[in-house]
Amino acid sequence: MLECAMARIFISGSADGLGLMAGEWLLERGHAVTFHARSETRADDLKRRLKSDSAVVIGDVSTIAAMRKVADGVNRIGAHDAVIHNVAIGYQEPRRQETGDGPSKLFAVNTLAPYLLTALIEKPRRLIYLSSGLHQSGKPDVSDLQWTARRWNGMQAYSDSKLQDCWIAFAMARRWSDVMSNALEPGWVATKMGGPGAPDDLAKGAETQAWLAVSDDAAATVSGEYFFHRKPKAVSPNARRIDLQDALMDACRKITGVAIA
């Protein structure tokens, strides 16, 4: 695999799981990684594990204020070559929860945080968004993003958010022609979210996002694509709908007050 020269990569939600594994993969290959933890306690645990001087920004991105804090922390460190939007909560949420800002927590973390961090972090050369095979079941609709009109269904809300992550990735590929913006699915892997019996390759699930962040392989230096285990994969036709991509971006702009050119 061809790799670019030493790069700096920010990975949201990287105190454990796939984000941490991707960060460690990058560190082993000589890249600089800015990690992200939602609390001081988790940041301290992460630093003890890493045994390195890697930067860690802190903030629970379920609120807009914390999203801004994380973006400010990343920008203070300096320019990053790639940003991996890994942060997410799973489908096990038993009920709809609201953040202090009003949006549902799952939408705030899984969709709004990738949007606002994209808007506020200094533009990198590469953007990577973690989706899921469950995006295929996501509703191609933006009329009830907050689940105020529907009876709560955690699995459906999660699936919707993973389709929305594709919309953001592909919208950014259209809007920022000088940035490579792609989405991927790691597979059903044995993380806290996936559970111990998940059948897919955990290492490959982490490596794909890291590979997209630094590889100079022709297969990785593309934009507006969807990947699984370093290979392009067919995406739901709904993910390619420009009308829905733009509708989501507009909804996120209205909620956050921040537009992406």
Catalytic residue among 115, 129, 158, 226: 158
CA 46 to CA 24: how far, in whole Å?
Answer: 11
19, 34, 80, 115, 253 from 76: Cα distances, Å: 21, 11, 11, 19, 24
Give the tokens for residue 123.
């533009």
User: Annotated catalytic residue: which of 129, 162, 192, 233?
Assistant: 162
91 noted as active-site residue: no
In whole angstroms, give the CA distance from residue 24 to residue 14. Answer: 10
State the Cα–Cα distance between residues 256 and 177, nearest whole angstrom: 24
126: left (phi over 0), alpha (psi -120 to 50) or beta: beta
| Amino acid at position 91, single letter | Y
| Mutual angle of helices 113-120 and 64-77, in 10-degree steps | 40
Q: How far apart are CA 139 and CA 146, in angstroms?
A: 13
Residue 233 is a catalytic residue = no
Q: How far apart are CA 165 and CA 136, in angstroms?
A: 12
| C-alpha span between 169 and 187 (Å, rounded) | 18
Q: Write down the number of H helices and E strands in the chain.
A: 8, 8
Judged on CB neighbours under 10 Å (0-12, 13-18, 19+), 156 is middle
Known catalytic residues are: 158, 162
